[in-house]
Amino acid sequence: MNDLMSVVDWSRAQFALTAMYHWLFVPLTLGLSVIVGIMETIYFKTRSEKWLVITKFWMTLFGINFAMGVATGIILEFEFGTNWSNYSWFVGDIFGAPLAIEGLLAFFMEATFVAIMFFGWKKVSPGFHLASTWLTALGASISALWILVANAWMQYPVGMEFDPAQMRNVMDDFWAVAFSPVAIHKFLHAVFDGWVLAAVFVIGVSAWFLLKNTRRDLALKSIKVSGWVGIVGMILTLWSGDGSAVDVARVQPMKLAAMEGLYDGGRDQEIVGIGILDPSKERTDDKDPYLFKIAIPYGLSFLATHDIHGFVPGINDLIDGREITADGDTVKTVSYAERIAMGKQAHEALRAFDRAMTAGDEEAMESARADLKASYPYFGYGYLDSVDEAVPPVGMTFYSFHIMVIFGGYLFLFLILAVYAVYRRPLWWNHKSLLWTSILSVAVVWICSQAGWVTAEVGRQPWIIEGLMPTRAAVSAVSTGSVQLTFWMFAVVFTCLLAAEAVIMIRFIGKESNTTDIDDKQAVDNTEY
């Protein structure tokens, strides 16, 4: 068991390392492509050389980031086949098809139109070039869609039937998978998060120019465009995040309870704005979960149910199978002990199917198949020996969620301030306090973005597929040593590559910030790719 947990922990650590590394680049690609598209549209409409200079500058940074992100996602697919073979087989084409579409779209659409973006300035018409820029942005978003459809299925498995002969979930409703509300909200939330991240990145780099007192026109114009993209992106992030919260309340209520450190729920449930958990709190004791909190009355009920009086179950309510209706009555739902029992029945049914298949007994196979189908929704619970194993790490889920929300709130205020200042108080952009705040906000937005993923993926534990497969059942029978080795190999290689690529980006920004005001035609002619 200890060896298994070591393989599980190292495999999870490796996947987390590579996924978070990948997510350093993706949101900037998603958002900066839109910002560059807007800038080029302004150039197309005005034919102002100034806007061509601005567009080409940010397009170069887009290209550097794009190059930095190339192939960082493919590693994750390798890990499925090596470290997570049970999982990759079990999910069948449900995972494979979206990932294949993502890969094909990413390669063909982006490779084609990215090439036109960089190589086509004097070779295609301005209109065709502009279309290529927008199609690059669209291609990046469509690629993200398919990855998030796959991830959403892990959180809310739908549109499939399990075939015990193949040991695979066979997709029987593509549209249920592709248009699952969880998938749609996740996709929108991730894309709009990219808009916010890119906006803050642009403002941060622009602030660096203003700090160096150079390229002021480029900087202020860039802040105007990106500021609005950021504000719109933040509003849409909040809207899609609300949708995701309702989804989580409905299909992953244990995750929501962990996000809030909520052990004993109820109606009229408050939401914790800022809080510190008591690390000594146990599920079954009467201690207050929080050492400190500032809560907003009715907030969690409203977030989860859009009803300030709505019932939000805590960890103990879910485990004990308890729900409070709108009339205030306590009703029984399926407790976790019952789920574990049904899960073990599902495992027995699968064993019976295996024996019947080996014996060639068709009738027994059909009987076992029917028993399995009846208890399959709780198949994953059959691995649990105690109800406490079904509780995700409350501390990490709680803090990552609140970091995301608090940092997101700060960023919203920052973006409003940035836009207000650039239009109404441009002299504020001479103050070092605002400039350094803008630069440091670049780190804040990246932490915020990563915290969201930590919430989503740590909060779904112990499941790799909600209710159907716990993470520890998903790993391959590989040695801990081999996973450790590749973990450290990734860490070293990726860090070196990241450093090398970051140097290129920083040097380019530094070179541009050392450029004195030059006429725009020269700036255009000097643009390097």
Partner 1 sequence: MKENHPDIPTMTSLPMRVFRFYRDGFRSMTIGRRLWLLILIKLFIIFFIFKIFFFPDILRRDYDNDRDRAAAVRSSLLDRR
Binding mask 270-309 for partner 1 (x = CB under 8 A): ----------------------------------------
E strands, 349-415, in order: none
125 lines the binding site for partner 1 (CB under 8 A): no
Q: How many CB atoms lie within 10 A of CB 124?
A: 14
500 lines the binding site for partner 1 (CB under 8 A): yes
128 lines the binding site for partner 1 (CB under 8 A): no
Which of 67, 405, 442 has the alpha carbon at shortest distance from 226? 442
489 lines the binding site for partner 1 (CB under 8 A): yes
Read off the tokens for 209.
Answer: 């120019």
260 lines the binding site for partner 1 (CB under 8 A): no
Given the rule CB under 8 A, which of 229-237, 389-397, 421-429, 492-500 is the region that contacts partner 1?
492-500
Backbone angles phi, psi at 252, to 5 degrees: -140, 60
Coil, strand or helix at 332: strand
Q: Which of 13, 16, 17, 67 binds partner 1 (CB under 8 A)?
A: 67
Q: Is 461 left (phi over 0), alpha (psi -120 to 50) or beta?
A: beta
Residue 280 to residue 430: CA distance in whole angstroms: 49
Nearer to partner 1, 108 or 529 (CB): 529
Nearest-approach distance from CB 473 to partner 1, in angstroms: 5
529 lines the binding site for partner 1 (CB under 8 A): yes
Q: Which of 174, 239, 410, 508 binds partner 1 (CB under 8 A)?
A: 508
Q: Which of 82, 316, 367, 484 binds partner 1 (CB under 8 A)?
A: 82
Residues between 379 and 408 that touch partner 1 (CB under 8 A): 383, 385
Residue 268 to residue 415: CA distance in whole angstroms: 32
Nearest-approach distance from CB 95 to partner 1, in angstroms: 14
Helix (H) or strand (E) holding 395: helix 394-424
Report the amino acid identity of residue 500.
A
63 lines the binding site for partner 1 (CB under 8 A): yes
- Give the number of residues in contact with partner 1, rule: CB under 8 A: 54
Cα 94 from chain centroid (whole Å): 19
Q: Which of 19, 30, 43, 79 binds partner 1 (CB under 8 A)?
A: 79
Residue 101 to residue 108: CA distance in whole angstroms: 11
Q: b/e map of 357-370 (b: 16 or more CB within 10 Å)?
A: beeeeeeebeebbe
480 lines the binding site for partner 1 (CB under 8 A): no
Which stretches of 106-215 are DSSP H helices? 111-119, 126-155, 174-178, 181-211
Binding mask 160-179 for partner 1 (x = CB under 8 A): ----xxxxx-----------
Read off the tokens for 255.
Answer: 């995750």
Residues between 226 and 255 that touch partner 1 (CB under 8 A): none
Report the amino acid identity of residue 220.
L
374 lines the binding site for partner 1 (CB under 8 A): no
Residue 188 to residue 291: CA distance in whole angstroms: 35
Binding mask 91-120 for partner 1 (x = CB under 8 A): ------------------------x--xxx
Coil, strand or helix at 277: strand
User: Would you tell me which residues interact with partner 1 (CB under 8 A)?
Assistant: 1, 4, 60, 63-64, 67-68, 70-71, 74-75, 78-79, 81-82, 85-86, 88-90, 115, 118-120, 123, 164-168, 347, 350-351, 354, 383, 385, 469, 472-473, 476-478, 482, 485-486, 489, 493, 497, 500-501, 504, 508, 528-529
